[in-house]
Structure 1
Amino acid sequence: MKLNNYLFLLIIGFTMLAAACKKGEPLQKEPVKVVKVSITGSTTVPLEFIYKDSIIASVDLASRENFIREVLLPVSNQSSEISIREAGTTNVIDSHTVPSSPFKQNLSVYYDGSQTYEKSITYQLKGFAMAGELEFLVDEKLVHTGTLKIEKNLTIYVNENKERQFTVRKKGETTNLLTKTVTSSPSTGQSLKFFFDGTRLVDNIEIKPPANPENMSVTAQFATTFTIASAGALFKGGDVDAVFYIRNSAGVVTVPSPEIRIKMPASGAFVTFELPPLPNSTSFYTYDICEVGSDALPYTDFLVANIFPPKLNKGKLGEIKFGSSYFEAGAAKLILMQDMMALKSSPAAEKGRYFFGKILDLSQYFQ
């Protein structure tokens, strides 16, 4: 009887073993795969990364810029997900699929507090606001403000093959002075170089060296200071000529040959021209503002004109100076050209109202 029982149990055992060893039914489970995920990016708020209900990585405010986290994750043949949420909340802001291969994988996250992006680009902001304060916005969100010298490398988040809108406006106003497009590529090299005179904004300013290395290249904009009659005179408007002279330390004025006469547009656009070398170290350039094609003054409504009648300056007043230098061969300069007025009471034959040019050297802000 006992022998029959043993035989029965043995037969059952072999039967179960045979059933377990059928094709497609291995005795052991499939080995677990592992992938390595590198998590990089930047964020304005702390983040947590969740995988299979566990926090696998986190980012706090102290390390929010250009963070790097590397994690090893077990995966199956089917894809899994990493959920991204604001730290300490259940607010999932994005998710990322983790496939079973390759072993090394990347996850880039750039979060501005309201939306995630795939890339980060560096946008160079460089310019000068002569008057007023400017606001710089990305998709209507304020990212920077500034006045006078403005130099800032902005970090802008953007999705692959997408664009964002970059605008500039005067603080307190809603009208855009400029609108540009920011693209996802290249990650560096996109920029705005500008000059703002208080009313107009000019961008894409390039300072190019002179074609003749003995000369000095000048990129200039003209803006009159005589916009109200109470200033002593009123600018007529329109294009003007900047007529250049050379004066030495003894006050002797000479006219360059050939004449240097540069037309300055009323639009405020920048004009590039070259000045030849000065004859010696005691000489310097000066200029007058005249009507186009003549030496006539582009002003009207003179105050007390019977006492101080308007007279042509012809280079007798004013000077062009760059720091401690009057001329730099091979240099490229960016200047704002303006007009000034001086009253001269003696000698009697020269009594009058003289208009002459002055400059504001902006070169240092665009180097």
Structure 2
Amino acid sequence: MKKNILYLVFIGFILGQFLISCKRQELAEPAIKKIISLQITGTTLPGDTLEFVKNGKVLLQTGFASFALSTKVSLEGESAEVQIRRKRDQLVIARKTIIAEAYNQVLTCYYDGQEVYDTLVDLEIKGYSGPDELEFMLDGVLVGSGTGTTFPSLKVTINKEKKRQVQIRKKGDPKILLDYEVLGNVALQKLVFYYDGVQLLDKIELGAPQNPANMLFSASFKSSVTVFSGPVDLVFCKGSIYENFENLPVTSHRIELNNDGSFSKNFELPALTAQDIADKLHYGIRLVKRGTLIDIPYDLTNELRPIYPRSGVHTGEITVSPGTAMLMVFKDSKSVYATGPASRRGTLFSLLGVDISAYFKP
């Protein structure tokens, strides 16, 4: 019996040593390497080469300002760090992490010379500035300019879930006309504006008339004439296309205007009737003192007699497109004619208008 117990103890001891030996051998085996497929896309400055480094070894490097690179990478652990550095001075400008569990992985790198960003947003710019050149800045740094209706589309480097600011200013003037917020989680964004030389308008939503046979009409006005005396209305005139605009009879259609450049309340302008069209009638516009039909809104105390009836008349046809909207921006000007025949001498107050609705249509 005693011999049997000793035998069993001996067998247990041998079996224990065997298991420990197996365990040690198992731990001594090297970690299994995993292979992943790595793609790196992005942009950098022209002529500035970037290197992507793991454990001191260069995996990839850029050859062009816009790049899409790929390689196979082995990982011994659960994850590894990829350093992004400039080749010219070996400065590490960012660090990214790759993991062993996913075979296909993509790293993005958009470098603007100062910082590496995660993504790129396309900012389409559509607007009007007349003869003035406008400058566009990204967080205070000049990135483009344009004149008239020709403006650059910007590639904005940004981190997802973050925001950056695009500012607009007139060239030579540090005053910021507009701050536009760019969102990092929207790939395509649009900036639409209208600049009249004084104010910049954006974020205007075109409405639609309740009666689809009408046209929605709204207008802004800001006087630049020193003898202006408001408040004012716009009155619609209607008459023969063969008559000068100043001779068109006024209608009952009227809009109250502000003098701060803000837009008036929407007004539904009726379309011309079939009989109007047959009679070759059209609409015109006249600027008048509030509540009057033809009185011009200017202090004439020290002026040459005004040239009636042309003063305050917009010399352009208002064409009604049913179901649409028109946004008119009006400005005035004063011209003094002190010489020439008596019939031509006097002060002319002109009304200048432009329809900007095209800039805000989808």
TM over 0.5: yes
Which of residues 313, 322, 346 in structure 2 aligns to 1:329? 322
Moved more, 148-157 or 30-39: 148-157
Indicate if the aligned counterparts of 1:121 and 1:155 stay in contact, CA closer than 8 A: yes
User: 2: CA distance between counterparts of 1:174 and 1:341?
Assistant: 29
Q: State the Cα distance separating 1:90 from its structure 2 match.
A: 0.8
* AA matched with 1:274: E
Runs (5+) with no aligned partner, structure 2:
1-17
What per-residue deviation string (whole Å, max 9, x for no partner) do you get for residues 80-129 of structure 1?
A: 22111224431221111222222222211111111111122222322211
2:271 counterpart residue number: 277
What per-residue deviation string (whole Å, max 9, x for no partner) do you get for residues 236-288 of structure 1?
A: 255421111012124273333xx211122111113343321122162221111
1:85 counterpart residue number: 85
Which of residues 343, 354, 357 in structure 2 aligns to 1:360? 354
What per-residue deviation string (whole Å, max 9, x for no partner) do you get for residues 114-170 of structure 1?
A: 111112222232221135222111110112212221444322122232222222222
1:11 counterpart residue number: none
User: 2: CA distance between counterparts of 1:354 and 1:136?
Assistant: 38
User: 1: CA distance between counterparts of 2:86 and 2:230?
Assistant: 58
2:259 counterpart residue number: 266
User: 2: CA distance between counterparts of 1:171 and 1:244?
Assistant: 38
Indicate if the aligned counterparts of 1:137 and 1:166 stay in contact, CA closer than 8 A: yes
Percent identical pairs in the alignment equals 28
Indicate if the aligned counterparts of 1:289 and 1:356 stay in contact, CA closer than 8 A: no
Do structure 1's residue 290 and structure 2's residue 293 form an aligned pair?
Answer: no
CA RMSD of aligned residues (A): 3.3
* AA matched with 1:91: L
User: 2: CA distance between counterparts of 1:177 and 1:301?
Assistant: 34
Corresponding residue pairs, total = 329
User: 2: CA distance between counterparts of 1:219 and 1:54?
Assistant: 65
User: 1: CA distance between counterparts of 2:79 and 2:49?
Assistant: 26
1:320 counterpart residue number: 316
Aligned to 1:25, what secondary structure does the other structure show? Answer: helix
1:253 counterpart residue number: 248
Change (3 A) 1:183 1:85: same
* AA matched with 2:356: L
Indicate if the aligned counterparts of 2:235 and 2:255 stay in contact, CA closer than 8 A: yes
Indicate if the aligned counterparts of 1:312 and 1:355 stay in contact, CA closer than 8 A: no
Change (3 A) 1:133 1:154: same
User: 2: CA distance between counterparts of 1:275 and 1:169?
Assistant: 36
User: 2: CA distance between counterparts of 1:241 and 1:201?
Assistant: 23
1:6 counterpart residue number: none
Change (3 A) 1:153 1:239: farther
2:103 counterpart residue number: 103
Runs (5+) with no aligned partner, structure 1:
1-17, 228-233
* AA matched with 2:256: K
Change (3 A) 1:28 1:351: closer
User: 2: CA distance between counterparts of 1:43 and 1:139?
Assistant: 18
1:147 counterpart residue number: 147
1:31 counterpart residue number: 32
2:233 counterpart residue number: 241
Do structure 1's residue 338 and structure 2's residue 341 form an aligned pair?
Answer: no
Do structure 1's residue 50 and structure 2's residue 53 form an aligned pair?
Answer: yes
Q: State the Cα distance separating 1:335 from its structure 2 match.
A: 2.9
Indicate if the aligned counterparts of 1:207 and 1:219 stay in contact, CA closer than 8 A: no
Aligned to 1:320, what secondary structure does the other structure show? Answer: strand
Do structure 1's residue 212 and structure 2's residue 211 form an aligned pair?
Answer: yes
User: 2: CA distance between counterparts of 1:300 and 1:119?
Assistant: 58
What per-residue deviation string (whole Å, max 9, x for no partner) do you get for residues 23-69 of structure 1?
A: 232485443211122212222243221223333222233xx33x322
Indicate if the aligned counterparts of 1:202 and 1:269 stay in contact, CA closer than 8 A: no
Aligned to 1:130, what secondary structure does the other structure show? Answer: coil
User: 1: CA distance between counterparts of 2:331 and 2:34?
Assistant: 73
1:9 counterpart residue number: none
Indicate if the aligned counterparts of 1:284 and 1:327 stay in contact, CA closer than 8 A: no
Indicate if the aligned counterparts of 2:233 and 2:256 stay in contact, CA closer than 8 A: yes
Indicate if the aligned counterparts of 1:285 and 1:319 stay in contact, CA closer than 8 A: no
Q: TM-score when scaled to structure 1?
A: 0.77
Indicate if the aligned counterparts of 1:335 and 1:362 stay in contact, CA closer than 8 A: yes
Q: State the Cα distance separating 1:19 from its structure 2 match.
A: 11
Indicate if the aligned counterparts of 2:82 and 2:96 stay in contact, CA closer than 8 A: yes
What per-residue deviation string (whole Å, max 9, x for no partner) do you get for residues 165-211 of structure 1?
A: 2222221122212223322222224x332221212122212233333
* AA matched with 2:146: G
Change (3 A) 1:118 1:276: same
